[in-house]
Structure 1
């Protein structure tokens, strides 16, 4: 159950006044996505004014709706779903019915963008593959998000974030040398894939702006995961070097790692010689080491990491974090407290950027909101609207987007376009 007392302690979201129409105002997006990578991509489009219509199965909707935490008052709007589906409309369609499929095709005919991340072959079975959709709408930008691409020997494989982390080599690079590599707790490959998909869609829209023709764009989780291995991939390709697990220290810079003050852990990253010198001279009061002919050179420091860390560990343990933080900042040494997620969300840095707020919800009153990290000054993101209930906008979409009247909606309902349980959901006001 959501902690409403905690939520209502958050500041109310204040929308930045816009000097112009939202950046994506007028853009129509048909969203066939679920879970994380697809919905996050379409949410970014919605945040900047696109009209995103999320097509879901009647009653249950996107399986991600049911991931914890779930509040009994809104059983199909768990926290993870709220995180990925802000500013969208939900249209409940039974895509296995002829009537439901016909509605989907009529939406596609007037859409600018279609995004899907089903398993390979699903859209083909519906007759909604790119070729068919392009014949309905040649201006359509059709974005496929998959695990291993839509063609080739691995197109049929299912893939999720941790699998991509494992198969890309990403897990092998993270953790400590004396044990198996570890995955990140956060779904970093899904998030990165969502960002890539958004970029791909916007690039295709720019190309269409020149010649008026849409195209198919594709983003694969595995492809993104290889990129997320960072420059280690190029190090291997140029030398055969196989990145090792180094825990919290860096194989390239020293000293970089986690240290402990009297009361709190923190991370320091001395990325070059000058930062090292400032830290030892201005923070630790050791100019003798700052300008030591050996330690003042990055490569030499890597060879003496244990000695340097011992000196730093002993020094930092003498004072609390409140003593070291201002000294590190004054010396311009990159540093940061090792926080829990809760501490990060409530941090001064988070508050100063107004990243965590609360927005209205028709059932709960308020729900938390995490700001989109993209900021445009002249055309900022639109006022955030809570993720919808399953089929919440079915009737509104049919009337306002497709121009259906009462008789046609009733006929579609009788033909099973919305599924039997979705008949009442179609009547939920937008």
Structure 2
């Protein structure tokens, strides 16, 4: 249950969906429940919902003119501010529905874009969202007439939509071109940073999964393993869809003392707008350069199978399913359910919030990283004191002993350090 003490201050929303498959209510129920959560994330409150069984979508009104007239009466009784539809609407459908309902009409795509506009904090994130909004808006300029004229706030009015009464198609197209140019420049900066990370050969682990599965909480848990951890490095966490949006990179450490980087990615959701995926393609491509993926799944969610498949479908579109993947079932402290079937690869149950099995997960990360590590005995001459200091500061030294010709140090090296200092190696084994 969401806190609705301030319900009078929140935008009152009625949600509408069409069930095209009368034989199964599972998908439509799941989708409508998720739509409620999206409305909440956008700052509204759902006071009623309508689901219509149809063989096909009505091209003019989405739900049919008769049903639209029924909804209009319902909205008058409930004092509804906004009507949110569970599928993407055309400009003509929006115009036709507004003529009957006389209220703000938002579709699922616009709702998700609105949430992203609310949550984006980085320059790149804001540009990506604006690009997606403009591309959504461009073919709907006629249908969005009333919506574009609104100057007040509320769901669906964040970002460029507030100022578009005087905006023509040419202006939007020009702005799209400008944004794409800016994003290209930011992508080049990110490419340079990525190249430096790759040259350092520090392994990168990417957290992927459905929105609100606990990725940010897990990122914070992994960050705490690093000696340089501080509270101000933690990312924002809230039990809400798309609570965090911008990609985050943090440092952690493996059991053998080697460092690795953890990157959080935007959470996935069913029917994630294509335009949003296109706009965030540069950010999402960071997943392609990760050495290992952690697919985080919320064990408590009743739609666990649907959410898992949604994530796998998006990973397939990104062409990263061939990467090593550890399936991480989160919130095991709340439920003790059996894991879902047909999951390929290693599986672990954890609680990112309580820390349950985090050490086991980190060990599995070490075991499944393609990055090679070598457990070695090095005999470091006394005149190479700088190397000894480096090893003590940057690797997990298991033991050391002063010998006649130098210090015998037992530690673990990554492939770069191994190649650099192998002349001092006495014995070694691949970890």
Q: Shorter-chain TM-score: what band?
A: under 0.3
Structure with a larger share of its residues in strand = 2
Higher relative contact order (CA 8 A, sep 6+): 1
